[in-house]
Amino acid sequence: MTTILDLRQVTRNHDRYEQMIRQRPAVQRAIAYFQDNIGKVSSTEEFMKDDKLYRFVLDAFDLGSQAKARGLIRKVLEEGVSDSSSTANRMSDAKFKEMATVLGFAENSGKNLKQPAIVQAIIDRYVNVTLEIDSEDQNPAVRLGLYFKRRSSNISNWYQVMADSALRKVVYTTLGLPDQTALLDIDKQKVLLEKRMDIADFKKPEKVAKLLDRFAAMYDLQNGSSTATAATPSIGPISASGRASIISIDPSITMSLLRFPRF
């Protein structure tokens, strides 16, 4: 199958795949432990002493790869987000700020974590991330596409894209930009992206769907899929404004973190 078909299949059956993940014994145990214990912690210190809670939350916020960076995570959570100069606010990767905001140890001693709706939202995100990770076994591009789809409505500037290797990979692949583009001066990259794509489109589901179709086709072309050509959507030329038009794709190829309680 091509990446377009793989990605559409997972997207179309997302709820069913999520339910399958929730039924796994290991996932059920992890969720049950989180539900039973997260409301008991009221400080960064208590949270970080419980390795099961610590890893569950980092995985839910797409920060599992940072689990060993305990000093950094401690600073992010202890300083919180109220001070504009705090570590979380100064980091280019918005996921750290999102985690600090939701846990709220610095602002309200973790009172957010006593709200069932917020606890459930963290669990839902944990399941989503697990599904995305699993999809990589089938096709790495599917994980990238699912991740972009979930994160897209929270993207408000190009620096967020450039700071996130997965978001950057989707956008640069979609535009046909080589990986070496990421080595350019960051402001030059920003200008290049602004000329070729309208970042406001990321908040429009129908345009994100078309962008992901284009990404999938370009990914297969760049990675030598033998079936990519037949499935490649008709991609029009650069628009008069200089931006690649997502709408130019053939019409036949067709969750906000900080918005409590679902993020």
CATH code: domain of residue 44: 1.10.3700.10
pLDDT beyond 50 at 234 = no
pLDDT beyond 50 at 67 = yes
pLDDT given at position 224 = 75
pLDDT given at position 173 = 96
Does 117 lie in the same domain as 151?
Answer: no
Residue 260 within a domain: no
Does 79 lie in the same domain as 183?
Answer: no
Does 195 lie in the same domain as 160?
Answer: yes
Residue 234 within a domain: yes
Residue 83 within a domain: yes
Look at residues 115, 119, 154 and name the one whose alpha carbon lies nearest to residue 258.
154
Residue 134 within a domain: no
Does 94 lie in the same domain as 25?
Answer: yes
**2, 61, 220 from 234: Cα distances, Å:** 15, 35, 14
Look at residues 64, 224, 66 and name the one whose alpha carbon lies nearest to residue 132.
64
pLDDT beyond 80 at 213 = yes
Tens digit of each residue's pLDDT (9 = 90 or more) over 125-169? 999 999 999 999 889 999 999 999 999 999 999 999 999 999 999
Domain that holds residue 198: 140-248
Residue 259 within a domain: no
Tokens 């990675």: give the residue. 223
On the CB side of 102, CA atoms within 13 Å amount to 28
Kindly report the average pLDDT of the chain as a whole number: 86
Does 88 lie in the same domain as 182?
Answer: no
Look at residues 17, 57, 15 and name the one whose alpha carbon lies nearest to residue 33.
57
pLDDT beyond 80 at 244 = no
- At 49, list the tokens: 């002493």
Least confident piece of the model among 66-75, 129-138, 142-151, 218-227: 218-227
147, 132 Cβ separation under 8 angstroms: yes
Spell out the residues 6+ positions from residue 75 whose beta carbon is closer than 8 angstroms to its own.
87
105, 98 Cβ separation under 8 angstroms: no
User: CA-CA distance, 179 to 109, in Å (whole number)?
Assistant: 42
Mean pLDDT of 102-107: 96
Does 100 lie in the same domain as 26?
Answer: yes
Residue 156 CB coordination number (10 Å): 12
pLDDT given at position 42 = 96
Tens digit of each residue's pLDDT (9 = 90 or more) over 12-31? 999 999 999 999 999 999 99
Q: Which helix (H) or strand (E) holds 86?
A: none
pLDDT beyond 80 at 237 = no
Number of domains in the chain: 2
27, 127 Cβ separation under 8 angstroms: yes
Does 146 lie in the same domain as 119?
Answer: no
pLDDT beyond 70 at 262 = no
Residue 257 within a domain: no
Domain boundary among 123, 153, 186: 123
pLDDT beyond 70 at 259 = no
Does 80 lie in the same domain as 24?
Answer: yes
pLDDT given at position 225 = 62
Does 211 lie in the same domain as 174?
Answer: yes
Residue 129 within a domain: no
User: CA-CA distance, 115 to 39, in Å (whole number)?
Assistant: 8
pLDDT beyond 50 at 44 = yes
Q: How much of the chain exceeds pLDDT 90, in percent? A: 80
Does 149 lie in the same domain as 84?
Answer: no
Residue 16 within a domain: yes
Mean pLDDT of 115-133: 96
> Torsions phi, psi of 243, nearest 5?
-100, 145
Domain boundary among 123, 150, 185: 123
> Torsions phi, psi of 48, nearest 5?
-75, -20
Does 12 lie in the same domain as 92?
Answer: yes
User: CA-CA distance, 153 to 131, in Å (whole number)?
Assistant: 19
Does 156 lie in the same domain as 111?
Answer: no
pLDDT given at position 228 = 42
Domain boundary among 66, 90, 123: 123
